[in-house]
């Protein structure tokens, strides 16, 4: 089997590449990534010399680059991870989110049709459903109600996938997952930002009252779910993926400080994110019941494992946090 993985140098994509080589021998992988600030080939050091692995630096929205790639290779499946993924950046610079997340997806859909790819998997997010009150869960039929430019771009891509299934008969499926954590996550996202700031004895910026709720899932459990959906998911269906693991941001930050043995005085309340969704919570019973997906990580163990990974990979995150990231941080937090 030959897979095209887009965005494979990012957090979830690189974890997925590792999962393929660890658990599915004989599968070959072409990884297309434009290497934005979030793409990092260091994440893939251990696979780079494998005969079944090839990296191509290209933008999924670049139609001629995609034509060249798809006409040269016959892919059995495309898994589209490539995207601008940070909500805060979408508030200050929405345009690139449309280009990569919407137009990029459309180019890939065209290529999948033209070059008769057997399967297309769109990696989407629970954020397309908007925000929940204190109770209730997102199910696959919850109406789309995106609130940020990021989630609007992801919802737009989902609708395009739906249209290509309906109009052209493309064999595609969509996954919508909750917040991921684990190794190789760029330290602009909550968990790695708090871990690495605490390790540098820097302030931990908590938005608003810290009472927003997220449902956290270990990235490896997400990747296993994606594999199952690719292999067995019913064409045209959406599969929600989540950890049944809701945390108020503030409690999670305090938990990280306990693990790291650092004082709560590092917590600093900062201006809230505009349009900040209050609560996300996923009902994942469809993927569990239909495809037999099961969680491997319990959260306390997964979180400790993740903290240990950042302790063991200080050079990785120090390099990532240097350079352009410093400018972004100053502009975003003014800390
Ligand atoms: P990430 O930002 O860590 O990685 C994205 C990767 O895509 C990077 O390597 C980047 O260089 C690449 N990329 C961006 N634009 C590109 C383009 N135009 N062409 C080619 N490559 C491009 O993101 P992530 O957290 O790994 O998220 C991966 C996917 O999963 C995204 O589609 C995101 O919407 C979705 N998702 C993420 C989460 C989460 O918690 N991180 C949860 C649910 C869904
Ligand atoms: O500095 C911060 N302070 C803070 O309080 C940051 C970066 C975040 N937060 C809050 C905002 C959210 O309520 O923490 C929560 C998590 O924030 P992010 O890590 O930015 O994730 P979120 O906005 O929930 O979106 C994530 O989950 C769904 C991913 O970034 C998306 O790509 C994915 O689709």
Ligand 2 atom at minimum distance from 253 CA: 5
User: Ligand 1 within 6 A of 181 CB?
Assistant: no
First to last CA, the chain: 49
Distance between Cα 10 and ligand 1 center (Å): 6
User: Ligand 1 within 6 A of 332 CB?
Assistant: no
- The question of whether 68 is a catalytic residue gets the answer no
User: Ligand 2 within 6 A of 176 CB?
Assistant: no
Distance between Cα 110 and ligand 2 center (Å): 31
Side-chain-side CA neighbours of residue 239 (13 Å): 28
Residues of the chain falling short of pLDDT 70: none
Express each pLDDT in 128-141 by its tens digit. Answer: 999 999 999 999 99
Reading the block at residue 307, the tokens are 């903290």
- Residues 297-311 as b or e (16 or more Cβ within 10 Å = b): bebeebbeebbebbe
Query: What CATH number corresponds to the domain at position 226?
Result: 3.40.50.720
Distance between Cα 333 and ligand 1 center (Å): 22
Give the domain range for residue 44. Answer: 2-181+218-241
- The question of whether 84 is a catalytic residue gets the answer no
The rounded distance, in Å, linking the Cα atoms of 157 and 146 is: 12
Residue 253: its pLDDT value, please? 98
User: Ligand 2 within 6 A of 89 CB?
Assistant: no
Q: Which protein residue has the closest C-alpha to ligand 2 atom 15? A: 190
Residue 335: its pLDDT value, please? 86
In a domain, 290, yes or no: no
Express each pLDDT in 190-203 by its tens digit. Answer: 999 999 999 999 99
Q: Which protein residue has the closest C-alpha to ligand 2 atom 30? A: 86
Residue 323: its pLDDT value, please? 86
User: Ligand 2 within 6 A of 214 CB?
Assistant: yes
In a domain, 324, yes or no: no
In a domain, 165, yes or no: yes
Whole-number Cα distances in Å, 255 to 183, 246, 277: 18, 13, 22
Distance between Cα 269 and ligand 1 center (Å): 28
Residue 121: its pLDDT value, please? 99
- The question of whether 93 is a catalytic residue gets the answer no
In a domain, 313, yes or no: no
In a domain, 327, yes or no: no
Q: Looking at 33, 59, 126, 221, which residue is catalytic?
A: 126
Q: Are residues 145 and 183 in contact, defined by beta-carbon separation less than 8 angstroms?
A: no
Ligand 1 atom at minimum distance from 180 CA: 40
Express each pLDDT in 218-256 by its tens digit. Answer: 999 999 999 999 999 999 999 999 999 999 999 999 999
Ligand 2 atom at minimum distance from 151 CA: 34
In a domain, 202, yes or no: no
In a domain, 211, yes or no: no
The rounded distance, in Å, linking the Cα atoms of 119 and 112 is: 8
Residue 44: its pLDDT value, please? 98
In a domain, 188, yes or no: no
Q: With H, G, I as helix, E, B as strand and everything else as coil, classify residue 129.
A: helix
Reading the block at residue 108, the tokens are 């890939």
State the pTM of this model: 0.98
Residue 205: its pLDDT value, please? 98
The rounded distance, in Å, linking the Cα atoms of 133 and 144 is: 15
Number of domains observed in the structure of the chain = 1
């Amino acid at each position: 089997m030959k897979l095209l993985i887009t965005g494979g140098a990012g957090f979830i994509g690189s974890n997925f590449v590792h999962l393929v080589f660890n658990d599915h021998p004989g599968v070959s992988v072409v990884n297309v990534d434009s290497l934005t600030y979030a793409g990092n080939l260091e994440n893939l050091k251990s696979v780079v010399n494998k005969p079944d692995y090839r990296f191509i630096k290209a933008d999924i929205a670049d139609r001629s680059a995609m034509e060249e790639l798809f006409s040269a290779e016959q892919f059995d499946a495309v898994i589209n991870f490539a995207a601008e993924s940070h909500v805060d950046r979408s508030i200050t610079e929405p345009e690139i989110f449309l280009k990569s997340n919407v137009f990029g997806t459309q180019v890939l859909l065209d290529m999948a049709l033209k070059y008769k790819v057997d399967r297309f998997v769109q990696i989407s997010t629970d954020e397309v459903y908007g925000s929940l009150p204190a109770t209730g869960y997102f199910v696959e039929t919850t109406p789309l109600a995106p609130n940020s430019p990021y989630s609007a771009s992801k919802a737009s891509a989902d609708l395009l996938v739906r249209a290509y299934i309906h109009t052209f008969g493309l064999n595609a499926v969509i996954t919508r997952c909750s917040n991921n954590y684990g190794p190789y996550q760029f330290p602009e996202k909550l968990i790695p930002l708090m871990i690495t700031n605490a390790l540098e004895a820097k302030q931990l910026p908590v938005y608003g009252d810290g009472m927003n709720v997220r449902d956290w899932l270990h990235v490896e459990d997400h990747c296993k779910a994606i594999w199952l959906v690719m292999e067995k998911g019913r064409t045209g269906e959406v599969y929600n993926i989540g950890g049944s693991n809701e945390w108020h941001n503030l409690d999670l930050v305090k938990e990280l400080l306990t693990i790291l043995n650092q004082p709560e005085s590092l917590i600093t309340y900062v201006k809230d994110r505009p349009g900040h969704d209050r609560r996300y919570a996923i009902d994942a019973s469809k993927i569990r019941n239909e495809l037999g997906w099961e969680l491997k990580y319990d959260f306390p163990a997964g979180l400790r494992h993740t903290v240990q990974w950042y302790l063991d990979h200080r050079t990785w995150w120090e390099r990532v946090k240097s350079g352009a990231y410093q400018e972004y941080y100053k502009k975003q937090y003014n800390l």
